[in-house]
Amino acid sequence: MLLSELLRRKVVSEAGASHGRVHDIRGELEGGRLRVTGLVCGSLGFLERYGVGTGGTGGAGQAKVHGHPAIPWERVVRVGAEIVVRD
């Protein structure tokens, strides 16, 4: 699966509560490979994707400061038409 395939998918809890859609994906480089660490969802996630509400602009050698909590990847139960996460 490509990371771009996760974008705009609806995220719901096992109980059916909506978390919105995926607007951005967080990750870390480990040994030259990207490891997904979280999903940024909802309206605040949408604003953050475009740099609104962040403490930094990012850029060369400078990470963007995120102000919106991400859903940890460890909570993902299933990826299908919707992404289901543990409550």
CATH number for position 69: 2.30.30.240
At residue 70, the pLDDT reads 87
- Which structural domain range is residue 72 located in? 3-85
Say how many domains are in the chain.
1
pLDDT above 70 covers what percent of the chain?
71
Q: What is the pTM of this model?
A: 0.74
Q: Are 76 and 6 contacting, i.e. CB atoms less than 8 angstroms apart?
A: no
- Residue 45 backbone phi and psi in degrees, to 5: -65, -35
Asked whether residue 78 carries a pLDDT value surpassing 70, the answer given is: yes
Residue partners of 58: CB distance under 8 A and separation at least 6: 51, 64
pLDDT above 90 covers what percent of the chain?
54
Q: Is 6 exposed, middle or buried (0-12, 13-18, 19+ CB in 10 A)?
A: middle
Q: What average pLDDT does this structure show over 58-66?
A: 54
